Amino acid sequence: MTYDASPAFAAAQDAADPLATFRQEFHIPPGPDGQPTAYFCGNSLGLLPRAARAAVEAEFKSWETQAVEGHFHGESPWMFYQDALAESAARVVGALPLEVVIMNTLTVNLHLLLVSFYQPTATRYKVLMEGGAFPSDQYALESQARLHGLDPTDAIVELTPRPGEHTLRTEDIEAKIAELGDSLATVIFGGINYYTGQVFDMAAITRAGHAVGAKVGFDLAHAAGNVVLSLHDWDVDFACWCTYKYLNSGPGGTSGVFIHERFAHQPDLLRLAGWWGHDPQERFQMKPGFRPSPGASGWQLSCGQVLPMAVHRANLELFDQAGGVATLRIKSEKLTGYLEYLINQLQLPKTKLEIITPTDPAQRGGQLSLLVHERGRELFDYLAARGIIADWREPNVIRLAPVPLYNSFEDVHRVGAALLQFYGEQ
Ligand SMILES: *Cc1c(COP(=O)(O)O)cnc(C)c1O
């Protein structure tokens, strides 16, 4: 696609955008001047869709009028509420409904999955992670290693980019996996690194991990709802994601879990159990002896969190209405490409500002990370004062996430114009 820096270009793109009407489905927070912000923080907390309030209100109504009977009656009985989300959640990550369950929160689910998919032995006990993974994932893995009586500094191998590079090369990941060989128990990577915005080649990493007999899983916090995923076909063993970033399902929102079909009928696979994971036919018989429900739902512990799930359900419906992630991705690539174009137009020396997110659209989602070597915080505040909401990561990274459901080309143009002004004023 050819871009140009004029405001007319942005207006024409918005006028021709088949997804433009979805912006009206969201509440865009006002900026300092009372006008809608240009919100580029959807990779941290997605905006509130208008439909979410009604979805929660419907469950309040059930609670108000039916109380305990809401578990079995009403439009969507709470007892089966999570099952009603599985199909569209599975579409988001490229899975079978049997392979997906919505429950808990992300780090909790990561731990539950590691119980099943990180079972170190005396010789096969290493975990491979991307260096600089999201802190919660680092802490989770450290504590899992300790849980098994291992020294985290020995058990956990972190792979970092080559000197002078910001992102990992797939061939280096594959080589590291081969090198660890029989000592490697589990590979756990982000689908997208939160800091650089790099999309990892999940199919290649899974292949390489399986070739040495390791389990392979992904934290899809920044990938779910952002890029096209095919977890089933890629043969990924397990994955989890939060729903409050690109999936717009609210602060502390619920989380999703993927467990490949090949584990669906393995009741003996080690796991932590609770009554909601029990065979639903017998769940209310209150009998001793855990018999897991087939598939990912056999990892549930507690009765479903209906209110956060109601918010998520409204969002999944929006994703379906928009034509799914593949359709959103077409606009996402254009928005991110346009943002990159406008930044490159400034022709700033790398000593001032560089984009550390890969330039290849296949290796990034809806995010650019700017490493701002000089006056980074000042630039961030300058943008905020002009109603441009970005994300600041210490010590000097500004992340901007154009989201196809609610960001416009005009939003991106606002960023370009503000940057031009900031650097023009120097
Ligand atoms: C956002 C994010 C988390 C947050 O986990 P919560 O348990 O939802 O607080 C964890 N890991 C990654 C990679 C993230 O991007």
- Among the atoms of ligand 1, which is closest to the Cα of residue 108? 7
Give yes or no for residue 106 CB within 6 A of ligand 1. Answer: yes
Give yes or no for residue 223 CB within 6 A of ligand 1. Answer: no
Give yes or no for residue 137 CB within 6 A of ligand 1. Answer: yes
Map out the domains of the chain as residue ranges.
Answer: 7-43+325-424, 56-320
Give yes or no for residue 219 CB within 6 A of ligand 1. Answer: yes
> What 8-state DSSP symbol labels residue 224?
T
* Nearest alpha-carbon partner for 118 in 153, 142, 99, 94: 142
Q: How many Å is the Cα radius of gyration of the chain?
A: 22
Q: Are the beta carbons of 136 and 106 closer than 8 angstroms?
A: yes
Residue nearest to atom 2 of ligand 1 (CA): 221
Q: Is the pTM of this model over 0.95?
A: yes
**CA 29/CA 163 separation, integer angstroms:** 41
In the three-class reduction of DSSP (H, G, I as helix; E, B as strand; rest coil), residue 127 is classed as strand
107 falls in which pLDDT band (50, 70, 90)? very high
382-408 residue pLDDT tens = 999 999 999 999 999 999 999 999 999
Question: Is the predicted pLDDT of residue 358 greater than 80, yes or no?
Answer: yes
In words, the CATH class of domain 7-43+325-424 is alpha beta
pLDDT of residue 425: 78
Ligand 1 center from residue 153 Cα (angstroms): 22
For 326, the token pair is 């593949």
Give yes or no for residue 391 CB within 6 A of ligand 1. Answer: no
Question: What are the DSSP calls for 140-194, one per residue?
Answer: HHHHHHHHTT--HHHHEEEE-PPTT-SS--HHHHHHHHHHHGGGEEEEEEESB-T
Average pLDDT over residues 120-127: 98
Residue nearest to atom 13 of ligand 1 (CA): 134
Ligand 1 center from residue 189 Cα (angstroms): 13
214-247 residue pLDDT tens = 999 999 999 999 999 999 999 999 999 999 999 9
Give yes or no for residue 366 CB within 6 A of ligand 1. Answer: no
Give yes or no for residue 189 CB within 6 A of ligand 1. Answer: no
Give yes or no for residue 222 CB within 6 A of ligand 1. Answer: yes
pLDDT of residue 288: 87
Ligand 1 center from residue 243 Cα (angstroms): 10
Q: Are the beta carbons of 190 and 221 closer than 8 angstroms?
A: yes
pLDDT of residue 126: 98
45-82 residue pLDDT tens = 999 999 999 999 999 999 999 999 999 998 899 999 99
159-209 residue pLDDT tens = 999 999 999 999 999 999 999 999 999 999 999 999 999 999 999 999 999
**CA 337/CA 171 separation, integer angstroms:** 26
Q: Which of 41, 105, 107 to mutate to test the pocket of ligand 1 (most atoms within 8 A of CB)?
A: 107
Ligand 1 center from residue 257 Cα (angstroms): 13
- Own/partner contacts of 84-90, CB < 8 Å, gap of 24 or more, are 84/313, 85/309, 85/312, 85/313, 85/316, 86/297, 88/316, 88/317, 88/319, 88/320, 89/256, 89/312, 89/316
- Among the atoms of ligand 1, which is closest to the Cα of residue 134? 13
Contacts of 353 (CB under 8 A, 6+ apart): 343, 346, 370, 371, 372, 373, 374
Strand 126-130 to 156-159 pairing = parallel
CATH fold of 56-320, please? Aspartate Aminotransferase; domain 2 (3.40.640)
**CA 263/CA 267 separation, integer angstroms:** 8
- Chain-wide mean pLDDT for the chain? 97
241-289 residue pLDDT tens = 999 999 999 999 999 999 999 999 999 999 999 999 999 888 878 888 9
- Among the atoms of ligand 1, which is closest to the Cα of residue 245? 1
Give yes or no for residue 315 CB within 6 A of ligand 1. Answer: no
125-160 residue pLDDT tens = 999 999 989 999 999 999 999 999 999 999 999 999
Give yes or no for residue 242 CB within 6 A of ligand 1. Answer: yes
411 falls in which pLDDT band (50, 70, 90)? very high
Give yes or no for residue 194 CB within 6 A of ligand 1. Answer: yes
Give yes or no for residue 136 CB within 6 A of ligand 1. Answer: yes
Q: In the chain, pLDDT over 90 holds for what percent of residues?
A: 96
Question: What are the DSSP calls for 333-399, one per residue?
Answer: HHHHHHHHHHHHHT---TTTEEE-S-SSGGGB-S-EEEEE-SSHHHHHHHHHHTTEE-EEETTTEEE
Give yes or no for residue 232 CB within 6 A of ligand 1. Answer: no
335-356 residue pLDDT tens = 999 999 999 999 999 999 999 9
Give yes or no for residue 134 CB within 6 A of ligand 1. Answer: yes
